[in-house]
Amino acid sequence: MLTMAKPTELFLNEALNIVNEAEKRSIRLRLMGALAIRISSANFGDLHAKLQRLGASSVTSEFTDIDVIGYGTQRSRMEAFFKSINYSPHPQARRLPYIWSDRHMYLNPEGLCHVDVFFDKLEMSHTLDLRGRLELSYPTITAADLLLEKMQILRINEKDIKDSVVLLRSHKLGEDESKECINLKRIATLLASDWGFWYTVTTNLAKTRDFANEYGPLSAEDKQDVTTKINRILQAIENQPKTLNFNMRAKIGTKKKWYNDVDETFRT
C-alpha cells in the first residue's frame, strides 16, 4: 500500500516497478522526463537537492506523474497490463478517441499519480521519434533523448533547465549509446534535418548555459563542467552538415511558426 510519507522515493520506486513488470511480460516501456533524469543521474542525486528543483514551493512532492513510452505495436496490450498491476484507465481520456489513440493514461489505485503512456514518438513542441531506440537503454530512454526531450520545450521553465543541468553534469559526452554517455552524434544528426527543432534546442541550450553560469548554489566545478559540455554540444550541432530541407527552412527563420502547439488536455 502506497503512502505519502516519502513521496519522491515512492514515485521512483513506482516508476521502476512499472517498467520492470512490463519487461517481465515482454512489454517494452521506458521512463521519460524528470523521474527518468533522477534515475539516470543517481550518482549526482545531491545536485538535484542543491538546485531546489521546486524553489520555495511547499508542495508535498516534486513529481506529479510518471511518463513512459512504448512501441505502438504493443498498444493493444497496454490496458490489460496496467489493469494487472491495479491501474485503471483515465475515465475521461478513455472515452475520447482522439486522446486514447495518441497516448494512454492510467490512474494509480492509491491516488499517488497517473501514468502517461506515449507510443513511438513524443509529440510536443517538436517530434522526438523513438522508434527502434527503446532497446538502447534501460529503464529510461537514452541520455541524449532525455536531453532532447527537455530542450525541445518551446517555453522551457526553470524546473526543466535544472533537470537538464543535472543530466549534463552526471553524464559524459561521446558518440556512443552507453548508459553514462550523451551521444553527440544522435543530437547533431537529428537536428541537421529539422531547422525548427534545431532552433528551439540551440536556444534552450544557450539558456541552460546562462542559467548554470549565474546560479549561485552551483559550485565553480559544476558551472565549468556544464558550460563546457553545452559548448561542445553546440559545436557538434554546428559542425554537422545540414540537409537541403534544413537550409531552405532556415531562410524563412522565425517569420513562420517553427513549433507545434501543445495540447495540454489532461496534463499535470
Q: Please report the pLDDT score of residue 165 as a whole number.
A: 97
Give the global pTM: 0.92
Strands (E), 63-190: 65-70, 88-89, 103-107, 114-119, 121-123, 127-129, 172-174, 181-183
- Residue 264: pLDDT band (50, 70, 90) is low
Mean pLDDT confidence for 148-153: 98
Q: Please report the pLDDT score of residue 95 as a whole number.
A: 78
Give SS3 for 30: strand
Q: Residues 71-107: pLDDT tens digits? A: 999 999 999 999 999 999 988 777 777 777 789 999 9
